[in-house]
């Protein structure tokens, strides 16, 4: 049985290709969308990070995080902002709250541009991650490490740890009652370091202290999610924030010092106003170019041979070789000799004449016709050293030949 395909059918199968046009179109669309998606994620990926990593900051919902107090403040009608870029919003905040990690110093918080009151909540718990948003462990940081965000390396403030789990009675500096918390484990208080006591515990240790516009909370359990799960501690924590606030502006929780700073990049700049319009215009122009390139105008052009056949191909290839070698000007003297032979036949010069005698005859006839001598034209052709001078000499030889042979112009 003959299984050979007919030529027409074989050509149709070859033209159809291995993939359908619709499949190719879908591949192109998916590739373009994936590319655009990668650009967008590369530009705004840092902003889409929810930050619920279990650490002690305002985006963390773990026991040591402060997302709980953020929601509590919002529920009570207080305007709250979370700053990722080191700038606490367009409005003047009434209080900027820092929850610095271990290792951060006073200079870390000085990089944040914030006017007005600043509250530092000192770190306490050294915990390990359990799963996303959760923590485990009950170890606490040593006093020196916990004080570093306020003290730095050489500060004079001291920390006292009250052992055990118990309710803590808080008073104003003058001894007036302030609040009673729920049970707090290993409660911490401060002393020294130039701190002015505002709120104390029953033993006289500083719970909320002040140095100028900077406030310090000694124990984070007064504000973190684990602490405010007790309603008494939640009330005490909110009262501490109200004491430190100045004015009715928003309370800003800064998370830029916790490794969640929003990263600016050129891609994000191109995808945000005012440059978004330019980016969209360029994208539309690229789309129109792709649509135009997808369609073909007119029949397909058949590809010719790389080297043409026949005399014309030989002449073209020879000319290309001469042009490649940059030897065009060397061809003009040969053209002069060919012109001499054509003119000799046209004037009926005897074939027995030598080269010098023939050129003398042609010079004499040129003089009678008012033309320049042939020997002069030949010398000009031999002296040509570039393409421009060679073309000029060839034009003069051509005009001389037409005049000598009486050819039509």
Q: What is the CATH number of the domain that holds 113?
A: 3.40.50
Same structural domain, 350 and 250: no
Residue that has been written with the tokens 């002296």 in this structure? 383
* Per-residue confidence (pLDDT) for residue 215, from 0 to 100: 93
> Tens digits of per-residue pLDDT, 208-242?
999 988 899 999 999 999 999 999 999 999 999 99
Same structural domain, 238 and 350: no
Q: How far is CA 194 from CA 150, 191, 246, in A?
A: 11, 8, 21
Same structural domain, 117 and 237: yes
Query: Does residue 287 sit within a domain?
Result: no
Burial class of residue 22 in the structure, from the number of CB atoms within 10 Å of its CB (0-12 exposed, 13-18 middle, 19+ buried): exposed
| Percent share of the chain, pLDDT over 70 | 87
How far apart, in whole angstroms, are the C-alpha atoms of residue 364 and residue 371? Answer: 10
* Per-residue confidence (pLDDT) for residue 225, from 0 to 100: 92
Mean pLDDT over all residues of the chain?
Answer: 83
Two structure tokens written together for 140: 């606490």
C-beta separation of 161 from 186 below 8 A: yes
Same structural domain, 186 and 324: no
Q: At what angle do helices 374-383 and 387-405 cross, to 10 degrees?
A: 160
Query: Does residue 5 sit within a domain?
Result: no
How far apart, in whole angstroms, are the C-alpha atoms of residue 308 and residue 311? Answer: 9
* Per-residue confidence (pLDDT) for residue 1, from 0 to 100: 45
Confidence of residue 6 (pLDDT cuts 50, 70, 90): low
**At residue 150, does pLDDT exceed 70?**
yes
Confidence of residue 10 (pLDDT cuts 50, 70, 90): low
Mark which of 225, 258, 291 sits at the end of a domain: 258
Same structural domain, 171 and 72: yes
Q: How many domains is the chain partitioned into structurally?
A: 2
Same structural domain, 202 and 82: yes
Query: Does residue 131 sit within a domain?
Result: yes
Same structural domain, 117 and 179: yes
Same structural domain, 154 and 82: yes
> Domain span at residue 343?
311-405
Residues pairing with 135 in the sheet? 129
> Tens digits of per-residue pLDDT, 82-116?
888 776 555 678 899 999 988 788 888 877 776 77
Query: Does residue 377 sit within a domain?
Result: yes
Confidence of residue 173 (pLDDT cuts 50, 70, 90): very high
Same structural domain, 240 and 357: no
Query: Does residue 286 sit within a domain?
Result: no
Same structural domain, 330 and 237: no
**At residue 59, does pLDDT exceed 60?**
yes
Same structural domain, 244 and 161: yes
Same structural domain, 203 and 336: no
Query: Does residue 348 sit within a domain?
Result: yes
Mean pLDDT of 386-397: 88
Query: Does residue 42 sit within a domain?
Result: no
Query: Does residue 228 sit within a domain?
Result: yes
pTM of the predicted structure, to 2 decimals = 0.58
């Amino acid at each position: 049985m003959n299984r050979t395909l007919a030529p027409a059918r074989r050509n149709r199968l070859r033209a159809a290709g291995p993939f359908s046009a619709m499949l190719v179109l879908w591949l192109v669309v998916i590739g373009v969308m994936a590319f655009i998606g990668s650009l967008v994620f590369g530009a705004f990926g840092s902003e889409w990070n929810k930050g619920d990593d279990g650490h002690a900051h305002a985006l963390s919902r773990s026991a040591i995080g402060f997302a709980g107090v953020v929601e509590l403040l919002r529920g009570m009608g207080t305007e709250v902002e979370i700053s990722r870029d080191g700038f606490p919003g367009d409005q003047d905040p009434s209080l900027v709250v820092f929850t610095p990690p271990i290792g951060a110093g006073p200079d870390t918080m000085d990089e944040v541009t914030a006017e007005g009151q600043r509250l530092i909540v000192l770190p306490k718990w050294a915990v390990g991650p359990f799963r996303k948003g959760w923590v485990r462990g009950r170890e606490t940081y040593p006093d020196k490490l916990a004080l570093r965000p306020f003290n730095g390396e050489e500060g004079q403030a001291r920390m006292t740890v009250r052992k055990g789990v118990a309710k803590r009675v808080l008073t104003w500096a003058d001894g007036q009652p302030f609040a009673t918390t729920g049970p707090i484990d290993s409660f911490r208080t401060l002393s020294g370091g130039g701190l002015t006591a505002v709120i104390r515990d029953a033993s006289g240790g500083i719970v909320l202290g002040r140095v100028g516009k900077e406030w310090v909370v000694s124990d984070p359990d007064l504000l973190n999610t684990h602490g405010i799960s007790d309603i008494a501690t939640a009330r005490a924590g909110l009262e501490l924030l109200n004491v430190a606030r100045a004015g009715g502006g928003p309370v800003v929780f800064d998370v830029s010092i916790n490794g969640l700073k929003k990263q600016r990049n050129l891609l994000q700049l191109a995808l945000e106003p005012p440059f978004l319009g330019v980016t969209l215009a360029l994208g539309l122009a690229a789309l129109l170019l792709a649509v135009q390139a997808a369609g073909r105008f007119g029949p397909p052009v058949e590809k010719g041979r790389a080297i043409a056949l026949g005399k014309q191909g030989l002449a073209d290839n020879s000319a290309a070789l001469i042009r490649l070698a940059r030897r065009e000007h060397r061809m003009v003297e040969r053209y002069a000799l060919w012109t001499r032979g054509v003119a000799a036949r046209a004037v009926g010069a005897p074939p027995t004449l030598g080269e010098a005698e023939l050129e003398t005859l042609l010079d004499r006839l040129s003089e009678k016709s008012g033309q320049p001598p042939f020997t002069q034209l030949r010398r000009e052709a031999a002296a040509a050293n570039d393409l421009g001078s060679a073309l000029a000499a060839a034009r003069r030889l051509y005009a001389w030949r037409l005049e000598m042979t009486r050819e039509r112009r």
